[in-house]
Amino acid sequence: MRASAKSLAKPDPGLWAVVLAGGIGSRFWPVSTPARPKQLLPLGSEDPLIVDTTRRARALVSDDRLRILAGDHLVRPFQSVLDLPDSSYWVEPAVRGTCPVLAWAAWEIHQQDPDAVMVSLHSDHRIEPLSALQETVFAAAQIARRDELLLCIGAAPDRIETGYGHVEPGAPIPSDEGIEAFHVSAFHEKPDAETADRYVKAGFLWNTGIFVWKASTFLAEVERHAPEVAACLPLLEESPERFFSEVPVCVVDTAIMERSDRVGTVKALFDWDDVGSWGALTRTREADADGNRIVGDGAAVDGSGNIVFSEAGKVVLFGMDDTVAVRTGDVTLVMPRDKAADVKALLKALEDADS
């Protein structure tokens, strides 16, 4: 743990929070389905991911400044576990990537509060402790207000990781005591293991995808670096549907963050992980004496390093190591743990076999 738990501070009255809800989460097939998406699964704790994420957002902002950005198919499932008003949900009419949806959110927030700072959170992260998230984000918000920078939160790596983008820190940015902040020299996409090892030794940070910026600063950088998105923003005067029908697909990392010269990073005081596949449960769930993680009615006998997730009947692994076994109502999935990130490829193969 990089920071001990502290008493929670009050939410920042000038901050807005948007939660990027994401899609169904095919890497968690067969449990994640349209009726019960990944965000409703207890993968980061005993609570659904979206509940964990909303709890974090509420530590940062008041409920009237919290917005969940999600497709219409996700709203009803979220409402079944969250006690938020309907106004908290901004429904994405179409999937166009993170740059358009964040530009939409910034535009809407700026209409209501021209001086607003916004933080974007993802619904599939594990973050501890909450007080350290507050301290990090509040410090980033102060820098965003003062210097009008686009800030990403960077996490200190605790392992060699080829599945995350990395941030190369540059010149320091003045910040509150205990907070490290830097201009960004470069963003680096998911590296191979040898390169990731070199990045860690060089002091690079993981790109968490948590961003903090003034809505007005972000909109200005969209105008400079993604004019094809900026040109569609006036369509929001008509409706979000009109905007999303015309705006091109693009992601904020490549469209804005990698192009802008107004980008910084704040080093996280909290522990961070991305719950991106079944293998992540080895880091988010407590292990038994043999290193097995069991969720639901399951067991692993005479084996180690296994993951068992069962929602329908007992699942028992015997004499097996480093295996993932997942059981739902009508599907059982068993695979080596090192294949956990390749479920998308499995689904494609199954589709091809059925066609």
* Average pLDDT of span 61-71: 96
- So where are the chain's domains? 15-274, 278-354
* Average pLDDT of span 50-73: 96
* Average pLDDT of span 271-285: 89
- Both structure tokens of 308: 């068992």
Nearest C-alpha neighbor of 186 from the set 161, 166, 159, 160: 166
Q: Cis peptide before 30, with omega less than 30 degrees from 0?
A: yes
- For residue 118, the surrounding DSSP H or E stretch is strand 117-122
Domain 15-274 classified CATH 3.40.50.300?
no
pLDDT band per the 50, 70, 90 thresholds, residue 107: very high
Task: Identify the residue whose tokens are 């979000």.
Answer: 240
pLDDT band per the 50, 70, 90 thresholds, residue 24: low
Q: Is 112 exposed, middle or buried (0-12, 13-18, 19+ CB in 10 A)?
A: exposed
Please state the pTM of the whole predicted model: 0.91
Q: Cis peptide before 227, with omega less than 30 degrees from 0?
A: no
Distance CA 98, CA 88 (A): 19
Nearest C-alpha neighbor of 127 from the set 32, 35, 19, 253: 19
Note the pLDDT tens digit of each residue in 129-172: 999 999 999 999 999 999 999 999 999 999 999 889 999 999 99
In sequence order, the 6+-apart residues with CB closer than 8 A to the CB of 267 are 136, 154, 155, 156, 169, 179, 180, 181, 182, 205
Q: Residue 1 corresponds to which amino acid?
A: M
CA atoms within 13 A on the CB side of 274: 21
How much of the chain, in percent, has pLDDT values that exceed 90? 77
Distance CA 302, CA 100 (A): 50
Q: Over the chain, what is the mean pLDDT?
A: 93
Note the pLDDT tens digit of each residue in 333-345: 999 998 887 888 8
